[in-house]
């Protein structure tokens, strides 16, 4: 009996060691850059294949989602369709969530990510970002009666934020004179504002635009504070062919006014008339 037990223990240990080695090995041994020779996502490879594989969100209205007829729609999705059209190929959508956007590129599941991908220094190390097609920044929403329109009005007052957001980060580091009231979820933070727990609430401005549309007693008094953040298409690190093409494409589409059109059809119904396309779309 004892003999068998030992065998099992050794076998178990070996298995675990093997599994760990496999996992560790596979993530570090091979660099995951697209080499020119075997780039399955180069412009010529995409044209040959006849499909552009685009990673998009499936559950983030109004950027990438599925409507009640089962059709993929949204600001990012419209851009994806346009890019495929200009390449002369059909779009094929790969649904991703926020966590697997990078891996989807690295494992060659998609050629390009158009999933509300904010450009950050950390992400720049693992993927290549093309030119931005959208900008977001922190906004501040407050009751219309006591509208906050300047940051200086917030000195010594309470501001609601959600933990882990750019808004929390910005106020903690750049506006130490403002008291923060922190919550875990979007639902909680908006409820707190409705219950007058603070003078204002700060979050990504695009969320706020959508929210004030449903809550007309409030207004996004400060549309943008802090550093602007940009949303860009991302390709696999080293995929120069598609990166160059995407840069040209974004420039071309910006000039043509495509993004304003895209804004009007996809985002405007969510954001209402208080927001102008210029708050989201980049200038020509």
Partner 1 sequence: MAHSGISVLFEGTNFTRLMGGLWTSVWIAVVSLVIGLLIGTIFGLLRTMRSRIIRFILLLYLEFFRIVPTVVLLFLVYYILPRQFDINLPATWMAVLAFSLWVAAEFSDIVRGALESVPQHQRESGLALGLNQWQLFRYVLLSQAIQLELPATINLATRVIKTTSLLLMISVMDVINVGQQIIEANNQTHPTGIFWVYGLIFILYFIVDYPLSLWSKHLTAKAERK
Report the interface residues with partner 1, using CB under 8 A.
8, 11-12, 14-16, 18-19, 22-23, 26-27, 29-30, 32, 58-61, 65-70, 94-96, 100, 103-104, 106-109, 214, 270
- Closest distance of CB 75 from partner 1, Å: 14
The stretches of the chain forming alpha helices (DSSP H) are: 2-28, 43-49, 75-87, 101-106, 121-124, 166-174, 186-194, 205-214, 240-256, 258-262, 268-271
The whole-angstrom separation of Cα 59 and Cα 76 is 12
Burial class of residue 161, CB neighbours in 10 A (0-12, 13-18, 19+): buried
**Smallest distance from partner 1 to CB 190, Å:** 12
**Smallest distance from the beta carbon of 251 to partner 1, in angstroms?**
31
Rounded to a whole number of angstroms, the minimum distance from the CB of residue 226 to partner 1 is: 27
Residues 131 and 259 sit within 8 Å (Cβ to Cβ):
no
Residue 77 or 178: the one with the smaller Cβ distance to partner 1 is 77
Taking the C-alpha atoms of residue 180 and residue 196, their distance in angstroms, rounded to an integer, is: 14
**Nearer to partner 1 (CB atom), residue 28 or residue 176:** 28
- Helix/strand/coil for 167: helix
Nearer to partner 1, 65 or 258 (CB): 65
Please state, in angstroms and rounded to a whole number, the distance separating the CA atoms of residues 278 and 134: 10
Nearest residue (CB) to partner 1, 15 versus 172: 15
Shortest gap between Cβ of 95 and partner 1 (angstroms)?
Answer: 5
Q: Given the complex with partner 1, which of 34 and 222 has the nearer CB atom? A: 34
């Amino acid at each position: 009996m004892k003999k068998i037990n030992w065998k099992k223990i050794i076998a178990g240990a070996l298995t675990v060691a093997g599994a760990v080695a496999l996992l560790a090995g596979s993530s570090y041994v091979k660099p995951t850059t697209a080499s020119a020779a075997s780039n399955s996502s180069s412009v010529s490879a995409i044209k040959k294949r006849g499909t552009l594989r685009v990673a998009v969100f499936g559950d983030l209205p109004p950027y990438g989602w599925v409507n009640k007829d089962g059709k993929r729609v949204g600001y990012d999705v419209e851009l994806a369709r346009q890019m495929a059209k200009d390449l002369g190929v059909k779009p094929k959508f790969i649904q991703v969530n926020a966590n697997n956007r990078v891996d989807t590129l690295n494992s060659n599941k998609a050629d390009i990510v158009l999933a509300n991908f904010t450009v950050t220094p950390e992400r720049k190390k693992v993927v290549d970002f093309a030119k931005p097609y959208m900008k977001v920044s922190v906004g501040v929403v407050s009751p219309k009666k006591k509208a906050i329109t300047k940051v200086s009005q917030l000195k010594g007052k309470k501001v609601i934020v959600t933990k882990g957001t750019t808004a929390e980060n910005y106020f903690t580091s750049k506006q130490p004179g403002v008291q923060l009231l922190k919550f875990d979820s979007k639902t909680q933070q908006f409820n707190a504002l409705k219950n007058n727990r603070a003078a204002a609430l700060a979050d990504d401005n695009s969320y706020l635009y959508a929210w004030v549309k449903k809550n007309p007693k409030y207004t996004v008094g400060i549309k943008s504070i802090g550093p602007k953040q940009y949303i860009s298409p991302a390709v696999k690190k080293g995929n120069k062919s598609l990166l160059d093409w995407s840069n040209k494409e974004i420039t071309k589409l910006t000039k043509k006014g495509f993004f304003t059109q895209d804004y009007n059809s996809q985002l405007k119904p969510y954001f209402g008339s208080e927001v102008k396309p210029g708050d989201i779309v980049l200038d020509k």
